[in-house]
Amino acid sequence: MKKELVKRESQEEDTIIKIDGEVIIGDNKLMMIAGPCSVESEEQVMEIAKQVKASGAKFLRGGAFKPRTSPYDFQGLKEEGLKLLQKAKEKTGLKIVSEIVSIDDIELFDKYVDVIQIGARNMQNFDLLKKVGKLNKPIILKRGLCATIKEWLMAAEYILNEGNKNVILCERGIRTYETATRNTLDLSSIPVIKKLSHLPIIVDPSHAAGQKYLIEPLSKAAIAVGCDGLIIEVHNHPEKALSDGEQSITPKMYEDLCQNIKPIAKVMNKKL
């Protein structure tokens, strides 16, 4: 059988990912991504972008095409949303992370976005994986809600197998019986992945926890367990957010979080 490209056996040293020659993740560099669940308006995205940049984020996240449980929920601003993210990039210098949900949008994302996210629901949308595997952009591959670690790595393999080696895994919680949190953040997956694979891995405490007060302690734990970055939902008015308001922290909370994880990042020999 072919040796899987995602495995340590295929590549001993950790993957380091660069954009325009600059390391964005790996080599002790923490990838800090923050921003709203959905892009809602120019004012919203600009304000949040400036604030998370001031706190230390290097990437702005924002959903333009939203995969929602019900067809009647807000589905995102679509291309208009991507253009607003582009504007925010021009103003702040933050690089852009956004989720793709259809192969029809590949060109749009290639144009507007620096790092393409594949969401949990599409982790085994193999058609989409193969298409982004032909691009030259970094891909964040979120773990499916009930994906095993092995299935997750094999999903990444679909991307690497097409030629794109710039895959960043993202642990975002798995579905269990526990209802005190939205999902159960599986922090054990980070050292397990580190053992099996050379790919970098970040953590999304926002979707896992589903509640604001859990974001900072889980972020600290994620850094301490050895992750390579954090993707966090930040909204300037969480109570008015069109999606995921419950779990979105304020820019002020994000500022505190960045300050409070620094000493742990230092202990772990990681740079923000």
Where on the chain is the footprint of a second copy (CB under 8 A)? 1-2, 4, 67-72, 101-104, 121-122, 124-127, 145-146, 148-151, 154, 157-158, 161, 174-181, 184-192, 195, 208-209, 213-214, 217-218, 220-226, 263-264, 267
DSSP assignments along 144-198, one per residue: PTT--HHHHHHHHHHHHTTT---EEEEE--B--S--SSSSB--TTHHHHHHHHB-
Identity of the residue, 46 or 225, whose beta carbon is nearer to a second copy in the bound complex: 225
Identity of the residue, 157 or 244, whose beta carbon is nearer to a second copy in the bound complex: 157
Q: Give the containing element (helix H, strand E) for 91.
A: helix 79-92
Question: Smallest gap, in angstroms, from Cβ of residue 112 to a second copy?
Answer: 18
Question: Smallest gap, in angstroms, from Cβ of residue 238 to a second copy?
Answer: 18
Identity of the residue, 89 or 182, whose beta carbon is nearer to a second copy in the bound complex: 182
Given the DSSP bridges, would you call strands 17-19 and 22-25 parallel, antiparallel or unpaired?
Answer: antiparallel
CA 33 distance to own-chain centroid: 7
Identity of the residue, 88 or 139, whose beta carbon is nearer to a second copy in the bound complex: 139
Question: How many CB atoms neighbour CB 41 within 10 A?
Answer: 13
Residue of 98, 99, 78, 101 whose CA lies nearest to 89: 98
Question: Smallest gap, in angstroms, from Cβ of residue 159 to a second copy?
Answer: 9
Identity of the residue, 54 or 103, whose beta carbon is nearer to a second copy in the bound complex: 103
Q: How many CA atoms lie within 13 A of 35 on its CB side?
A: 31
Question: Smallest gap, in angstroms, from Cβ of residue 196 to a second copy?
Answer: 9
Question: Smallest gap, in angstroms, from Cβ of residue 82 to a second copy?
Answer: 16
